[in-house]
Structure 1
Amino acid sequence: MIATGCAALTRSVRVEEIMGMPISIHVLTAAVRDGDTERAVEACFAELRDIDRVFSTYRTDSDISRMARGELALRDAEPRVADVEAACRAAAIETGGLFSATWNGTFDPTGFVKGWAVENAARRHLEPILGAVDAVGINAGGDMQLFTAERSEWVWNVGIADPRHPGQVIATLPVRTGAVATSGSAERGAHIVDPRTGSPAHGVRSATVVDTSLARADLWATTAVIAGFEDRTWIPRSGTRTGILIADDGRVTRWLDGTSVDVVPQGTLLG
């Protein structure tokens, strides 16, 4: 996360390993952090740890793992599981089947639950402290839910990694309040499965989506990878703010308010 804005603000960061990834909470303020801010940060982390307890596919005692083994029915699971299951069914319809939490015959909400969990925890615990701080944001493995107080001049400038050149940034996106999610094969290889074929999705090396909601940004970033670089019919119906797609072969396209524009590589002759 790259952020610039008011030089006089002090940034404090706390990081914990949850859901198998580093999750950091960033607080920007001109004043000393008070007890209420500290308690909000701890409460946010605590909720995410509890979400992991329920939804982790790596924990044998989670509700999701027990459901996969046939030991627990949806109706008997923790109530949040039913909420996520309903949201996943709606997402499958909205994306035209490009997203599915049941493609392999069991319920696995891995592609949805992270964004949903981080957004909900951030809105419940972090957004309310904007009265005391200038800005607060949470970064979960590169996916971010960001808030800025209306009175503040702070702007989060989010750097988008160039998947072809590790350590370099291909673009920056200014966000005051909103969410940024990135999916693709650049970091973890071809791990996203196309539910239509059951095979790993190919064609998009990196998809970054900006929206108001991290749950939706994460959903549509995953959808973009599954759709592939050539199919952008999902962009107008997603309702997302903006984003950038980088193909396996290096081609780049960006969109704003549903309109996509191909970015011509430097040195290309137009005729």
Structure 2
Amino acid sequence: MIATGAAALTRSVRVEEIMGMPISIHVLTGGVPDAETEQSIAACFAELRDIDRVFSTYRADSDISRIARGELTLRDADPRVAEVEAACRAAAIETGGLFSATWNGTFDPTGFVKGWAVESAARRHLAPLLGTVDAVGINAGGDAQLFTAGGSAWVWNVGIADPRHPGRVIATLPVRTGAVATSGSAERGAHIIDPRTGSPARGVLSATVVDASLARADLWATTAVIAGFEDRTWIPRAGTRTGILIADDGRVTRWLDGTSVDVVPPGMLLG
């Protein structure tokens, strides 16, 4: 969730349904977005639709679906598929096998593509707008890549939903430029598979990670869910800025720069 930060700026929001979720682009400026800004927003959405065309597991004609059926090889697929496949292999090594893009013997980068796609499109089309706008950000189903111009006082205040109490916020994270990703079982149930067991990961209701990169924030949020609440050995090597883990029994853990870990008793509200 993206919340307001300062005053005296006008927020313009554009929303489209892509990848099966609402994706919103937020522009903060002193006036109405100009034609160049609108074109950049349209180009960002267009790139995300094109990425969905290539990577969607719900489209029979996508490159990923064709690869799964043996009709297409990685070599002959869209070049972005090879890029993502290489990134997923690197992620599997970096996470010590907690993350994997192999499912039922086939390549399925679903757990990586959203963060990578949103960050890539945002850096290509939205970040260059900072010469003319104060801030611009994109929110894809609750995961956000955010940018603020160096001379602006704007701060994005990102509210983290309490997974045990719909409609409540358990924490607010101030971000000028960076990314926030949340993963877990609170909204979609135990849908994240632990590649070590082949069974749904359990123990973490919600994992939120803040990093400079949405691809990495998303990767490590997923990894946190798979690792479980008790195993936090991955935090130092992740190199993320900060994060919050919420266990299914209500316990809460926070960290900062991979060093200071703070466990909060059940029922204590963070703010």
**Which TM-score tier does this pair reach, normalised by the shorter chain?**
over 0.9
Q: What is the DSSP-based 3-state SS (H/G/I as helix, E as strand, rest coil) of the residue aligned with 1:75?
A: coil
In structure 1, how many angstroms separate the alpha carbons of the residues matched to 2:104 and 2:160? 32
Is residue 2–residue 139 contact of structure 2 (8 Å, CA) maintained in 1? no
Q: How does 1:1-271 map to 2 (within 5 A)?
A: 1-259=1-259, 260-265=261-266
Q: What is the DSSP-based 3-state SS (H/G/I as helix, E as strand, rest coil) of the residue aligned with 2:106?
A: coil
In structure 2, how many angstroms separate the alpha carbons of the residues matched to 1:23 and 1:165? 24
Shift of 1:32: 2.1
Shift of 1:265: 3.6
In structure 1, how many angstroms separate the alpha carbons of the residues matched to 2:114 and 2:4? 26
In structure 2, how many angstroms separate the alpha carbons of the residues matched to 1:55 and 1:114? 10
Shift of 1:263: 1.2
Instruction: Map Cα deviations across residues 47-99 of structure 1 (whole Å, 9 max, x no partner).
Output: 00000000000000000000000000111101000000000000000000000
Which residue identity lines up with residue 180 of structure 1 in the other structure? V
Q: What is the DSSP-based 3-state SS (H/G/I as helix, E as strand, rest coil) of the residue aligned with 2:263?
A: strand
Q: What is the DSSP-based 3-state SS (H/G/I as helix, E as strand, rest coil) of the residue aligned with 2:75?
A: helix
Shift of 1:182: 0.1
Instruction: Map Cα deviations across residues 5-36 of structure 1 (whole Å, 9 max, x no partner).
Output: 33110001010000000000000001221000
Which residue identity lines up with residue 99 of structure 2 in the other structure? F
In structure 2, runs of 5+ residues without a counterpart are none
Is residue 3–residue 155 contact of structure 1 (8 Å, CA) maintained in 2? no
Is residue 156–residue 174 contact of structure 1 (8 Å, CA) maintained in 2? yes
In structure 1, runs of 5+ residues without a counterpart are none
Distance 1:37 1:93, change over 3 A: same
Which residue identity lines up with residue 129 of structure 1 in the other structure? L
Is residue 44–residue 126 contact of structure 2 (8 Å, CA) maintained in 1? yes
Q: What is the DSSP-based 3-state SS (H/G/I as helix, E as strand, rest coil) of the residue aligned with 2:208?
A: strand
In structure 2, how many angstroms separate the alpha carbons of the residues matched to 1:6 and 1:256? 25
Q: What is the DSSP-based 3-state SS (H/G/I as helix, E as strand, rest coil) of the residue aligned with 2:216?
A: helix
Distance 1:74 1:34, change over 3 A: same
Shift of 1:261: 1.2
Q: What is the DSSP-based 3-state SS (H/G/I as helix, E as strand, rest coil) of the residue aligned with 2:191?
A: coil
Is residue 209–residue 242 contact of structure 1 (8 Å, CA) maintained in 2? yes
Distance 1:2 1:118, change over 3 A: closer
Count of residues paired in the alignment: 267
Shift of 1:266: 5.2
Instruction: Map Cα deviations across residues 167-223 of structure 1 (whole Å, 9 max, x no partner).
Output: 100000000000000000001000000000000000000000000000000000000
Instruction: Map Cα deviations across residues 233-262 of structure 1 (whole Å, 9 max, x no partner).
Output: 000000000000000000000000102210
TM-score (norm 2): 0.97
TM-score (norm 1): 0.97
Which has the higher mean CA deviation after the structures are superposed, 101-110 or 216-225? 101-110
Which residue identity lines up with residue 143 of structure 2 in the other structure? D
Q: What CA RMSD, in Å, does the superposition of the two structures yield over aligned residues? A: 0.9
